[in-house]
Amino acid sequence: MKRYTQKEIDNFIENLDFSKIEGGIVPIIAQDYKTNEILMLAFANEEAVRQSLKTGIACYYSRSRQKLWKKGEESGHIQEIQQVFVDCYKDTVLFKVKQKVAACHTGYYSCFHREYVNGEFVTRGNRIFDPDKVYKK
Amino acid sequence: MKRYTQKEIDNFIENLDFSKIEGGIVPIIAQDYKTNEILMLAFANEEAVRQSLKTGIACYYSRSRQKLWKKGEESGHIQEIQQVFVDCYKDTVLFKVKQKVAACHTGYYSCFHREYVNGEFVTRGNRIFDPDKVYKK
């Protein structure tokens, strides 16, 4: 798990460009640190980025609920951050993570488990957990 | 190169959720179809998605220039789409692509070529081309 000091976090935040998307958020891609499989894309405001780098566990910002979203808080399916990358414009972040159980709330390892083939969305991979058993109603 | 029919494109567009980001755009992640290395994240409006699926070559929407951005139009560094995925909310797209030369305008294969380590942005990988020789002033 990769944690950063307060000084390192301040410097990271200063360098990030939060201005491109309304509300001051940046996209973050979570990628499996071993296989490079893409797990999900979410957004983070400054507070969520700070939280992620401080704890070493991915934290995002939920646009629908308009609050911090500690990924895995309910399910336990946390993402332990191994490496942090930025893109050339420093307006997008990449977390290479160790994913506990699965990333997708539907039970699949990756949120990108549907491929568009011959006009249909075809499911790839297997359901790892049953959402009804993991998430309270 | 993966191309889609008009009917398939219409269906794809109908299923995508463009409402989450101001301006009616969706994030698209471009990933190397062989190594799974993430190349870049860009945005696309409906027209850019249609163009991508019709031609099989990734086309985005430039927020700064406010127009279609045919990736590689000037440099020749196009992305041939091999597979198209959507995430669980159908508000984010993943293109698995065959990247010509390099994805980043700074000369690196991936836009995510800087890792944040010990308070510094450390460059990973090598510069593949010289931007001064590829892009006109």
Spatial contact of A108 and A102, defined as CB atoms under 8 Å apart: yes
Interchain pair A85, B116: CB under 8 A: yes
Instruction: Quote the strand ranges of chain B, DSSP E.
Output: 26-32, 38-44, 59-62, 67-70, 79-86, 93-99, 114-117, 120-123
How far does Cα B106 stand from its chain's mean position?
Answer: 15
Interchain pair B38, A29: CB under 8 A: yes
Give the pLDDT band (50/70/90) at residue A136. Answer: confident
The ipTM assigned to this model is 0.97
Judge whether residue A130 has pLDDT over 90. Answer: yes
| Distance to chain B for A46, nearest Cα, Å | 16
**How many Cβ contacts (< 8 angstroms) between chains A and B?**
105
Give the pLDDT band (50/70/90) at residue A21. Answer: very high
Cβ contacts of B27 on chain A, cutoff 8 Å: 27, 41
Q: Which of B55, B54, B44 is nearest to B17 (CA)?
A: B44
Task: Encode chain B (137 residues) as per-residue pLDDT tens digits.
Answer: 899 999 999 999 999 999 999 999 999 999 999 999 999 999 999 999 999 999 999 999 999 999 999 999 999 999 999 999 999 999 999 999 999 999 999 999 999 999 999 999 999 989 999 999 998 76
Interface test with A, best of B10, B25, B41 (most A CBs within 10 A): B41
Name the pairing type of β-strands B26-32 and B38-44: antiparallel
Please report which helix (H) or strand (E) contains residue A9, including its range. Answer: helix A6-15
Q: Quote the pLDDT of residue A29.
A: 98
Judge whether residue A55 has pLDDT over 90. Answer: yes
Q: Which of A98, A123, A96, A72 is nearest to B87 (CA)?
A: A123
Interchain pair B36, A36: CB under 8 A: yes
Question: pLDDT tens, A65-84?
Answer: 999 999 999 999 999 999 99
Q: Quote the pLDDT of residue A111.
A: 98
Q: Quote the pLDDT of residue B137.
A: 60
Nearest to A38 among B31, B83, B124 (CB): B31
Question: pLDDT tens, A88-121?
Answer: 999 999 999 999 999 999 999 999 999 999 999 9
Q: Quote the pLDDT of residue B45.
A: 98
Q: Copy the structure tokens of residue A18.
A: 């939060």
Interchain pair A116, B86: CB under 8 A: yes
